[in-house]
Amino acid sequence: MRRPAALAALGLLLPALLAGCGGSASGDGGSFAGSKVDPPFTVAPITLTDTAGDSYELADGGGTGAKLTLAFFGYTHCPDVCGLVMGNLAAAMTRLSESDREQVQVVFVTTDPARDDEQVLRRYLDRLDPDFEGLTGDLDDIAALGKSVAVGVTDGQKLPSGGYDLNTHSTQVTGIEDGEAPVFWSQSTSAAQFAADIHTVLTQGVP
């Protein structure tokens, strides 16, 4: 974070947004389901690796040319919230017009890079939408990237029994434009709400 105002906002938002995969969150209601961040967060210029093994910087949309990037931090072994949110995003994409869809990139940033390599992410995302991109990399880099947009990430631990302790992460979807994050949506946002809000952001900006 580069600005004191943004740091203050981060401090206020983190306690409310940090939740495990079994956590709960509620939408703001109203005609626009997302929550505006003013001033917007500055996305850290951190390079991760996409599912093709190429470098990808979330701050610049990975060079895709998309006007709006929707980023979700989660992991493929998540038992509940991650699949729900990503499923709603996939359904939202089918509700968009072709012109809107071409301006949006959905990115899934793993919070469990020890298990989610490029191939695992690609298989997971292909079941949702082949156009979705996945990012992996060093956990410290992922945590720093998440922190810049008020996403908390806590590493899961392998248990002596051979199982895995649950990974903890915030559950919002972050909207990114031109290196800044001016809006986020809670895990309770529906596909219809995502679609309506995406169209609004693309055509009018964040209200």
- Residue 165 — pLDDT band, cuts 50, 70, 90? very low
pLDDT the model gives residue 168: 55
Please choose, from the candidates 202, 174, 193, 205, the residue with its C-alpha nearest in 3D space to the C-alpha of residue 95: 193
Relative to beta strand 168-169, strand 133-136 is unpaired
Domain interval for residue 157: 4-204
- Residue 161 — pLDDT band, cuts 50, 70, 90? low
pLDDT the model gives residue 53: 97
Residue 137 near residue 146 (C-beta atoms within 8 A): no
Q: Angle at Cα 169 formed by Cα 84 and Cα 163, nearest 5°?
A: 85
pLDDT the model gives residue 155: 62
Please choose, from the candidates 109, 107, 131, 134, the residue with its C-alpha nearest in 3D space to the C-alpha of residue 119: 134
Q: What are phi and psi of 39, to 5 degrees?
A: -75, 155
pLDDT at 20 over 50: no
Top pLDDT among 155 and 123 is at 123
Mean of all residue pLDDT scores within the chain: 84
Top pLDDT among 186 and 154 is at 186
Query: To the nearest 5 percent, what fractions of the chain are helix, strand and coil?
Result: 35, 25, 40
Please choose, from the candidates 184, 196, 181, the residue with its C-alpha nearest in 3D space to the C-alpha of residue 31: 196
pLDDT at 163 over 60: no
pLDDT at 202 over 70: yes
pLDDT at 30 over 90: no
pLDDT the model gives residue 169: 56
> Which CATH number fits the domain that encloses residue 62?
3.40.30.10
Percent of the chain with pLDDT over 70: 78
Helices 81-95 and 191-204 meet at what angle, rounded to 10? 60
- What's the structural domain count of the chain? 1
User: How many other CB atoms are there within 10 angstroms of residue 181's CB atom?
Assistant: 23
H/E element, 38: strand 35-42
pLDDT at 154 over 80: no
Quick: pLDDT tens for 50-94.
Answer: 999 999 999 998 888 899 999 999 999 888 899 999 999 999 999
Distance CA 14, CA 150 (A): 6
